[in-house]
Amino acid sequence: MGTWSIWHWLIVLVIVMLIFGTKKLRNIGQDLGGAVKGFKEGMKEGTQGAAPAKPIEDQAGATIEGEARKEQSKS
């Protein structure tokens, strides 16, 4: 039973079209295409609006302020 030939895929396509109808399949395709387009635009906006990271050389010798606390055991 190896891979499916083109005829198997055509029969499956015809059955799907008979079950769902062309109008519903067209709407699903448009919704899916719009979602992919929106995702791509969001990815472009995310990379354009991101601030560039500081190089490690600029951070060398910088002092980080903070407070160290000893963790208390629960026993």
With beta carbons less than 8 A apart as the criterion, state whether 16 and 25 touch. yes
Has residue 39 been placed in a domain?
Answer: yes
Has residue 33 been placed in a domain?
Answer: yes
Which residues have CB under 8 Å from 20's CB, separation 6+? 28
Give me the domain span that covers residue 42: 21-48
Has residue 36 been placed in a domain?
Answer: yes
Taking the C-alpha atoms of 15, 21, 27 and 31 in order, what is their torsion angle to the nearest 10 degrees? -20
Q: From first to last of its 75 residues, what are the pLDDT tens digits of the chain?
A: 567 789 999 999 899 888 888 888 888 889 999 999 999 988 887 776 556 655 555 556 667 777 878 887 776
What is the tally of structural domains in the chain?
A: 1
Whole-number pLDDT of residue 59: 59
Whole-number pLDDT of residue 73: 76
